[in-house]
Amino acid sequence: MSNSFIQINNISKHFKDVKAVDDVSFEIKEGEFFSLLGPSGCGKTTLLRLLAGFEYPTSGNLLIDGIDITALPPDKRPTNMVFQNYAIFPHLNVEKNIKFGLRKLGLSHDEIGNRVKDVLKLVKLEGYEERFSNQLSGGQRQRVALARALVRQPKVLLLDEPLGALDKKLRDEMQLELRTLQKNIGITFVFVTHDQQEAISMSDRVAVMNDGKIQQLSAPNELYKNPKNIFVSDFIGETNFLKAETKSSDGGFINVLIEELGEFKIKNNLNIAANSSDVVCSVRPESMMISNVKSDWDICLDAKIRQTSYLGEMTRFYVEVKGIDKTITVSSQHFDNQSFENNDCFISISLEDISLLNKK
């Protein structure tokens, strides 16, 4: 396993005045399920298209398995792509779609037959050889696109929001299936999505992008637990932001004045400067406790429930805390809903669940 199987070195891509990708550098490991995650227009798709060869970078270079591919056209790269709309050739049936990319590989007739058979089995499309694109469901088309790319045995499979067009249940199934498939065949996957849940649940590592830059690159749990900045904290999962300012620093800790709540000593993982008002505190809804009796947690606040919404596996409470001018969201599996609207309650927070972030 190579730790720098794909090397992305100082890649920029400008479209006229727009910096779609802005001086990005990172490495992807061999056999990794790697996701590029971000809102639309963040540059993730452009980065994928740069890897595929549909765009060429304004500056920087790209290496796959030690070979510089920066200037190679798409047909000369060891990559294959699963397109967002699948791009199944409508004039060819499933079998011919899958065979399309084998012509130039110089394989024997038997080898071609075997590969097609194997890949059809892999994506569970045996018996669909004669069908055309318009005779397939969305999920089946997705499998054809996957088979067509995998049959060439690429070093890297690029996936451009391949699950976006599927309904939720099918999407969940395909997530699991894709993940299993990737583990079994061991090919490096680079997966583009705007869906944070998708990225988090499938990937070994995720690069969160915004404004053409990587905001954070880490394992999914790190992304969730230790977001590096306010963008990542906001984009991954849900959170509450509280106004704050830092006071004196104290080793790995820092004293923080949180609006209306008082001063607390919390962990300073990001080395945030002392005496700064350019900071916020983030608290995840599910890390807080809601109760109708006072607790002995680090922080316990008087609050009033304004609204509740029942989500099945949990209930979300929108509460008003005295002195804080916005609604705080708290999720809980235990606290019953309905009868509590407009009732008083207590919100408890543990200091270790508060993360301190720079505003910029």
Q: Which residues bind other proteins (CB under 8 A)?
A: 52-54, 73-75, 79-81, 83-85, 87, 89-91, 100-101, 103-105, 133-134, 138, 148-149, 152, 165
Residues whose CB is less than 8 angstroms from the CB of residue 296 and which lie 6 or more positions away in sequence, other chains included = none
Q: How far apart are CB 21 and other proteins at their closest, in Å?
A: 18
Q: State which residue, 100 or 318, has the beta carbon closest to other proteins.
A: 100
Q: How far apart are CB 229 and other proteins at their closest, in Å?
A: 34
Place of tokens 């929001």: 161
Q: State which residue, 73 or 186, has the beta carbon closest to other proteins.
A: 73
Q: How far apart are CB 195 and other proteins at their closest, in Å?
A: 18
User: Which residue, among 90, 110, 112, 85, has the nearest Cα to 101 in the 3D structure?
Assistant: 112
What SS3 state is found at 357? strand
Q: State which residue, 148 or 284, has the beta carbon closest to other proteins.
A: 148
Q: State which residue, 49 or 228, has the beta carbon closest to other proteins.
A: 49
String of DSSP letters for 61-74: EEEETTEE-TT--G
Separation of alpha carbons 77 and 103, rounded Å: 16
Q: How far apart are CB 124 and other proteins at their closest, in Å?
A: 21
Q: How far apart are CB 275 and other proteins at their closest, in Å?
A: 52
What SS3 state is found at 49? helix
Place of tokens 């049959």: 151
Q: State which residue, 11 or 149, has the beta carbon closest to other proteins.
A: 149
Q: How far apart are CB 105 and other proteins at their closest, in Å?
A: 7
Separation of alpha carbons 110 and 137, rounded Å: 30
Question: What beta strand segments (E) does 175-288 contain?
Answer: 188-193, 205-210, 213-218, 240-250, 253-258, 262-267, 279-283
Separation of alpha carbons 322 and 328, rounded Å: 11
Q: State which residue, 73 or 113, has the beta carbon closest to other proteins.
A: 73
The tokens describing 177, both together, are 């299936």
The tokens describing 75, both together, are 């047909």
Separation of alpha carbons 347 and 52, rounded Å: 50
What SS3 state is found at 51? helix
Q: How far apart are CB 240 and other proteins at their closest, in Å?
A: 36
Q: State which residue, 152 or 171, has the beta carbon closest to other proteins.
A: 152
Separation of alpha carbons 11 and 62, rounded Å: 8
Q: How far apart are CB 13 and other proteins at their closest, in Å?
A: 16
User: Which residue, among 23, 38, 31, has the nearest Cα to 6 in the 3D structure?
Assistant: 31
Q: State which residue, 156 or 214, has the beta carbon closest to other proteins.
A: 156
Helix 138-150, helix 168-185: angle, nearest 10: 20
Q: State which residue, 53 or 285, has the beta carbon closest to other proteins.
A: 53
Q: How far apart are CB 54 and other proteins at their closest, in Å?
A: 6
